[in-house]
């Protein structure tokens, strides 16, 4: 008997039920993910793909960094995230400002929502208190 008063047989049935439920939910989530990815593929083949397409990556001819271009065009400069950044495969402590920037964005949104939420709740409380007092 377990603390809930179930016999060993009932416990086994309960465990089996949980497993079936978990598998069913996993299948449902994987199906949703597959549908979203399929929508992404359809988007990629539609005219709307240009909305997000990175020109440097596919639609324009890409020259290797440092390549010599025709007379008067100089040479190809590494773009943001290319060359030194994308080529850098390891942790870069000198770029910690990138992490700080991410934390700042998350912190700013979090603080904004908390301030709004608290002020809305206080206003609701004042309204309720005024109604009770009236």
Residue closer to another protein, measured from CB, 68 or 112: 112
Rounded distance, CA 35 to CA 27, Å?
Answer: 12
Shortest CB 76 distance to another protein, Å? 17
DSSP 3-state of 70: coil
* Tokens 């990629």, residue located: 44
Residues 75-104 within binding reach of another protein (CB under 8 A)? 81, 85-93, 95-96, 98-99, 101-103
- Beta-bridge partner residues of 75: 68
Among 54, 64, 133, 134, binds another protein (CB under 8 A): 54
CB contact set of 67 (below 8 Å; sequence gap of 6+): 75, 76
Does residue number 49 form part of the binding site for another protein (CB under 8 A)?
Answer: yes
Residue closer to another protein, measured from CB, 6 or 68: 6
- Site mask for another protein (CB under 8 A), range 7-46, x = bound: ---------------x--xx-xxx-xx--xx--x--xx--
């Amino acid at each position: 008997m377990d603390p809930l008063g179930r016999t060993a047989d009932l416990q086994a049935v309960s465990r089996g039920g949980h497993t079936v439920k978990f598998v069913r939910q996993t299948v449902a989530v994987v199906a949703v993910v597959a549908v979203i990815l399929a929508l992404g593929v359809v988007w990629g083949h539609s005219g709307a793909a240009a909305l997000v397409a990175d020109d440097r990556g596919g639609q324009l001819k890409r020259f290797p960094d440092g390549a010599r271009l025709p007379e008067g065009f100089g040479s190809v400069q590494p773009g943001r995230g290319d060359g030194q950044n994308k080529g850098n495969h390891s942790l870069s402590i000198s770029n910690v400002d990138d992490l700080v920037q991410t934390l700042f964005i998350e912190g700013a949104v979090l603080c904004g929502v908390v301030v709004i939420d608290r002020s809305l709740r206080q206003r609701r409380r004042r309204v309720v208190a005024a109604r009770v007092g009236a």
